[in-house]
Amino acid sequence: MSARAVNFAAAALAAVAGALLVALTLLVTLDVLGRLPGRLGDTWLFTTVIPALFGPVNAQELSFTLPWTTEVTEYALYWMTFLGAPWVLKEGGHISIDILTQRLDPAARVVLARTIAFLGALISAVLLYYAIAVLLQALDQETEIVRTLIVKEWWIFAPLPLCVLLMLAIFTGWLFRPPEERHAPQEGP
């Protein structure tokens, strides 16, 4: 997998994660605003102001709820985490403690960076194995999650193997690249 393809895929998945964040924000806002009239029905706003402006209003009739908001939020948070992870890794936006690496000589810094990249690749390979195993099991058993919505379990796990594969590709690429060429340096607060 070429570095260009990995970078493009990571950026595309991050864009999807960003779109999910916007959609999730709008969904939660809509759900809260929908419940608001029912909770404010006995307040001055609904007993005096709104009837004076628009005539008699039954706040309970204006109230609505989206019962599946919590469920969709849970799935979206999971997806946003994994969809954005390869891009964050590629950009160097992950948490790193470089107080140690700054004090090392350049040769030791390269050895440490390659060791960390090897460990990251190893962990990503293990995660990839289990992500594929869980996805295949969910596909094979045709498991459904039944709550407010009925969702095929494999839909939830579907993006995980691709995201972990991209992280594995990024870490593997780092094994052969000096630390200073991996990503743009990040400014601290």
Return the domain boundaries, the chain.
3-181
pLDDT band at 41, cuts 50/70/90? confident
**What's the confidence (pLDDT) of residue 43?**
82
Could you give the CA distance from residue 56 to residue 189 in angstroms, rounded to a whole number?
54
Q: Please tell me the least confidently modeled range out of 89-98, 100-109, 147-156, 167-176.
A: 89-98
* For residue 189, pLDDT beyond 70: no
Two structure tokens written together for 141: 């058993």
Tens digits of residue pLDDT in 115-155: 999 999 999 999 999 999 999 999 999 999 998 889 999 99
Answer whether 146's CB lies under 8 Å from 138's CB.
no
Phi-psi domain of 55 (left: phi exceeds 0; alpha: psi -120 through 50; beta: other): left
Q: What is the mean pLDDT of residues 33-59?
A: 81
Q: What is the mean pLDDT of residues 59-81?
A: 88
**What's the confidence (pLDDT) of residue 137?**
96
**What's the confidence (pLDDT) of residue 102?**
80
Q: Which residues pair with 146 in a beta bridge?
A: 150
Higher pLDDT, 96 or 35: 35
Could you give the CA distance from residue 156 to residue 72 in angstroms, rounded to a whole number?
11
pLDDT band at 183, cuts 50/70/90? low
State the DSSP string of the chain: --HHHHHHHHHHHHHHHHHHHHHHHHHHHHHHHHHHHHHSTTSHIIIIIHHHHHS---HHHH----TTHHHHHHHHHHHHHHHHHHHHHHHT-S----HHHHHS-HHHHHHHHHHHHHHHHHHHHHHHHHHHHHHHHHHHHT-EEESSSEEEHHHHHTHHHHHHHHHHHHHHHHHTS-GGGTSPPPPP-
